[in-house]
Amino acid sequence: MADVISIPRQVLHQQVVTRLRQLIVEGRLVPGSKLNERALCEQLQVSRTPLREALKTLAAEGLVDLLPNRGAAVTRLSAQDIVDTFEVIASLEGQSGELAAQRITDAELDELRALHYEMLAAYTRRDLPTYYRLNALIHTGINAAARNPVLTQTYRTVNARLQALRLRSNVDDNKWKRAVKEHEQMIELLAARDAAGMRALLIAHIESKRDTVLALMRDGKTDTPIEANA
pTM for this prediction: 0.79
- Give Cα 121 to chain centroid, integer Å: 19
What CA–CA distances, in Å, run from 147 to 150, 154, 158, 181?
A: 9, 13, 18, 26
Residue 31 CA: distances (Å) to CA of 97, 118, 120, 122: 30, 30, 29, 26
Report the chain's mean pLDDT, rounded to a whole number: 88
pLDDT at 81 over 70: yes
pLDDT > 70? residue 224: no
Q: Can you give the residue ranges of every domain in the chain?
A: 9-74, 79-228
CATH no. of 9-74: 1.10.10.10
Q: Which residue has the higher pLDDT, 200 or 213?
A: 200
What percentage of the chain exceeds 90 in pLDDT? 63
How far, in Å, CA of 89 to CA of 27, rounded? Answer: 21
Q: Kindly report the CATH class assigned to 79-228.
A: mainly alpha
- The whole-number average pLDDT for the span 100-118 is 98
* Contact of 66 with 59, CB cutoff 8 Å: yes
DSSP for 43-110, please give it: HHT--HHHHHHHHHHHHHTTSEEEETTTEEEE----HHHHHHHHHHHHHHHHHHHHHHHHH--HHHHH
